[in-house]
Amino acid sequence: MVVEGWIEDGGFPVVILTRSFPISSSFQKLDSLSNHIVRWAKVTISDGENSYVLTGKYDKGYFPPYIYTTGRMRGKAGKTYTLTAEYRDMNATASTRIPSPPDNCSFRVEKCAGSDSLFQIIARFVDEPNEKNYYQFFTRVGTVSRQYLASYLGSIDDEVLKGESVVSVYRGHQYDEKDYSPYYKLDDTVSVKFAQVDETSYRIWDSYTKLLTLSENMFLSTSSNIETNIIGGYGYWCGYGVITNHIVIKDSI
């Protein structure tokens, strides 16, 4: 079983379940992935005091378009949440903690050097020097999808930060993009989530970014897997303390 799940401070949990399948040289249509969606699992989340069974439903705002969620539980910073997913002979479990949301983060939009049609988003924030913190940026372009993607090179260990920091927020990589660009276009509507995460979640997303980077380099390869905190399966179950900003890419910003 492959688990993709998260819960945010003030947000409802979202869990996507699929079954893994071997990579082969035979062409497989993207539509064939629907055969690997797990639709009839029992998914339970506990915060140590109460447990809730999530409801599975079709939702075209996510990929794959089937999620488990509930409106009876909202995440709360400081709490630990345990996920259990049961389906046939598969049983996957994981725990995560929601850190406090980071302090306010400001953004500006700049034209990319040497281009009149591409733009980049620059974030500015202050890291608390007396705390050990990890951060992750997520982006969403447009209003059709409800799913935020991990920003390319968006995993940050505050070991490399000193006080006020300035970083680029690149687009996440869509699953069906053939010609990926980390930059934005004029009039793009961009939503940016700036999240504080625990060390485990940071290592998961950092390993994802490194694997994504090396997989596109024909001269360098990697045999490393993406890290996981799922016991009895693959994937991730992460807690986020987030602040969300919405940005429209314009020449004048």
Q: What is the DSSP string of 3-57?
A: EEEEEEBTS--EEEEE------SS---GGGGGGGB--S-EEEEE-SS-EEEPEEE
2-97: CATH, from 1.10.10, 1.10.1740, 2.40.40, 2.60.40: 2.60.40
Residue 35 identity? N
Residue type, position 89, single letter:
D
pTM: 0.91
Average pLDDT over residues 130-156: 93
Instruction: Output the pLDDT for position 23.
Output: 74
Q: What is the pLDDT of residue 144?
A: 87
pLDDT confidence tier of residue 215, bands split at 50, 70 and 90: low
Q: Where are the domains of the chain?
A: 2-97, 106-227+241-248
Query: What is the pLDDT, as a whole number, of residue 60?
Result: 93
Q: Over the chain, what is the mean pLDDT?
A: 90
Strands (E), 127-201: 134-141, 149-157, 164-169, 184-185, 189-197
Nearest to 33 by CA among 21, 49, 15, 44: 21
pLDDT, one tens digit per residue, over 67-106 is 999 999 999 999 999 999 999 999 999 999 999 999 889 9
